[in-house]
Structure 1
């Protein structure tokens, strides 16, 4: 336990100092499961030590969430509380940092009414649209992390006793976030430097399109907009403060042309969406839009995702992650997008990050559309990479370049 306490302290310090990079007088908002009480206290202690003016926590509880879905009428899920959205927007306007802890049971809402789940996802997306402009445009620093919880651990390690499963999940989290290293902060600085090398290489190549193929049947061509920007590792707020939005992270990413995706793509890992799993799905694209799809697990959930709005049927993110990466090499299916997306090349349905195109953060919605930047109320990552993934780029001057071969970087 003493060793765990030491690792948790290092983890909290990394999240606040490198992840959010909290500044003197800055508020911090934390979204956390009630099981994370002790860790949230550590985050708060470290934030205050670095000068945070206030730490505000939004708590969630799986038992209460299930009770709500079982007993509350549909109108509750169709109307996201305005005070919640107003609170987040107010903190964003005050320059707050935002930490979200993603650690729910992957199948928390499996037995619940799917119409309630879909309604809740849509109403939250609508209500939080203004708040999300602050995070998706990197106006405010934001960070997504995870902690080990009992319900999640039992799903990841179903053959282990509860305490052993919990310990195994903590060990996996600490390894993926480099907390197990002697100096995690230095390790993160080095890691982000390595990712930046890949970012700089891709930005210098002026890529026009990417062609994905894989032995599972994937054959997809993805056009990239002119003036797209590759990013990865760390980000910088509009006021010039560096931060790391995801811990762990192994990706380098940009945006696709909203109307330039054609072909078929197969998923390679389960997608945890809205407390349900979607697995073994394939998608057919024409002119950027999903025109047909199927899934062995969660097909109705996937259908509800696409029904959120028109933009949900288009892609908003293209992300490259080598198959030979720390999370992938752990051979653990986390059933948590934060981890699984960093073990595999992936895309995202829905809204693109405006920061992935030159001047995008200052464009209106109409200007973004003119540049073929996808807009949506949602943004959902899904995994498509495996050990046979090949990605060939075509540059603006007509040259071809192998980006990925056998699932890994080819340069």
Structure 2
């Protein structure tokens, strides 16, 4: 076994989820990630915890969704499993990231609505979502298999305490903020309030790799237009050139250069899908190229991302409304050129470089 797989497993068990004796741990992986599963089970056993190992298959999911199409039930047995779990570990790894590309957007939306209670229960555990490198994801990224393996493990197996300290500088700026303004090129000028909300430092716990700071906008405060100039890969299909217009926090206009109907389906999932649930700022310099995988792309050091749909409860202050939705869909703006982030009127990032970096 590649020693980097063992290191990856150690980071998940000790840093990301802090597995303790007696913990009930769900390990939910595709078969292609079996080596990671083996390494995790060895470590889980060493810590005195109790694993439940499940495989998932995008082919099987596709077959179910195309056969059922609508009128989904909340899977109570799936919900019960997460109610008994202390820790949940998931990894992306399948051979074909486009496997579910021919599932209708309205079917995906219906299933997401039915699955929402299960998702909420999973998010209440100590969970970690990570990536295991496979040929299918390497092809999606336009990389060789070996090159993609190196890319994944360089981004994952790193000094997360050092990354936490670097990102803490941005958390300090955001925690005192009232208003954030994002400007990029001629097509993006968006303002939002974050007053009363908390900014979190993602350094490889729930998402591995980590490498962002994120918060929630005040629900009705988002105003302006944003052009997401980096593609979004969702349900096995690529949305290019997404544009959203906000008034009083709500998406009142949208378009896309490619697969606009998929974007429409996401926004029509429920009422909350037309509001922003997250503003994130990428800060992981080890992620230096776009790979069509949001787990990595949203962490790039010269990007911001915004998610339509649900907000993370821990980011929303007691006096502010929590946006709820069955969706949480991140979209990215490239901030490397002709771009600034302003916090309360002060520029804190220009063309991808932060105010606390030497070359600002």
Q: 1:122 to 1:103 in 2, by over 3 A?
A: farther
Q: 1:269 to 1:171 in 2, by over 3 A?
A: same
Partner of 1:365: none
Of 131, 140, 149, 2:121 maps to: 131
Partner of 1:55: 51
Structure 1: distance between partners of 2:119 and 2:92: 20
Of 49, 54, 61, 1:65 maps to: 61
What does 1:136-151 correspond to in 2, within 5 Å?
140-151=125-136
Q: Name the count of aligned residue pairs.
A: 352
Structure 2: distance between partners of 1:378 and 1:220: 21
Partner of 1:121: 112
Higher helix proportion, which one? 1
1:84 Cα offset (Å): 1.1
Partner of 1:229: 198
Please tell me whether the aligned partners of residues 106 and 275 of structure 1 are also in contact (alpha carbons under 8 angstroms).
yes
Structure 2: distance between partners of 1:299 and 1:252: 29
Normalized against structure 1, the TM-score is what? Answer: 0.80
Structure 2: distance between partners of 1:276 and 1:11: 29
Partner of 2:3: 6
What does 1:271-282 correspond to in 2, within 5 Å?
271-282=232-243
Please tell me whether the aligned partners of residues 262 and 286 of structure 1 are also in contact (alpha carbons under 8 angstroms).
yes
Partner of 1:137: none
Consecutive unaligned residues in structure 2, runs of 5 or more: none
Please tell me whether the aligned partners of residues 229 and 357 of structure 1 are also in contact (alpha carbons under 8 angstroms).
yes
Q: 1:233 to 1:130 in 2, by over 3 A?
A: closer
Q: SS where residue 208 of structure 2 aligns?
A: coil
1:19 Cα offset (Å): 1.0
Q: 1:113 to 1:347 in 2, by over 3 A?
A: closer
RMSD of equivalent CA atoms: 2.1
1:69 Cα offset (Å): 4.3
Please tell me whether the aligned partners of residues 348 and 382 of structure 1 are also in contact (alpha carbons under 8 angstroms).
yes
Of 100, 108, 118, 1:109 maps to: 100
Which shows bigger deviation, 80-89 or 39-48? 80-89
Q: Are 2:359 and 1:402 equivalent residues in the alignment?
A: no
Q: Are 2:78 and 1:79 equivalent residues in the alignment?
A: no
1:45 Cα offset (Å): 1.0
Q: Are 2:197 and 1:197 equivalent residues in the alignment?
A: no
Q: 1:33 to 1:133 in 2, by over 3 A?
A: closer
What is the CA deviation profile of residues 366-398 of structure 1, one whole-angstrom value per residue up to 9, with x for unaligned ones? xxxx6233222222221123212211111xxxx
Partner of 1:326: 286
Partner of 1:264: 225
Structure 1: distance between partners of 2:222 and 2:3: 47
Structure 1: distance between partners of 2:16 and 2:134: 21
1:175 Cα offset (Å): 0.9
Partner of 2:343: 393
Q: SS where residue 78 of structure 1 aligns?
A: coil
Q: 1:340 to 1:374 in 2, by over 3 A?
A: same
Q: 1:271 to 1:261 in 2, by over 3 A?
A: same
Q: 1:45 to 1:255 in 2, by over 3 A?
A: same
Please tell me whether the aligned partners of residues 30 and 58 of structure 1 are also in contact (alpha carbons under 8 angstroms).
yes
Please tell me whether the aligned partners of residues 219 and 322 of structure 2 are also in contact (alpha carbons under 8 angstroms).
yes
1:274 Cα offset (Å): 2.6
Please tell me whether the aligned partners of residues 215 and 279 of structure 2 are also in contact (alpha carbons under 8 angstroms).
yes
Q: Are 2:317 and 1:377 equivalent residues in the alignment?
A: no
Consecutive unaligned residues in structure 1, runs of 5 or more: 135-139, 235-242, 361-369, 395-399
Structure 2: distance between partners of 1:301 and 1:58: 30
Structure 2: distance between partners of 1:63 and 1:310: 30
1:166 Cα offset (Å): 2.1
Partner of 2:263: 302
Normalized against structure 2, the TM-score is what? Answer: 0.91
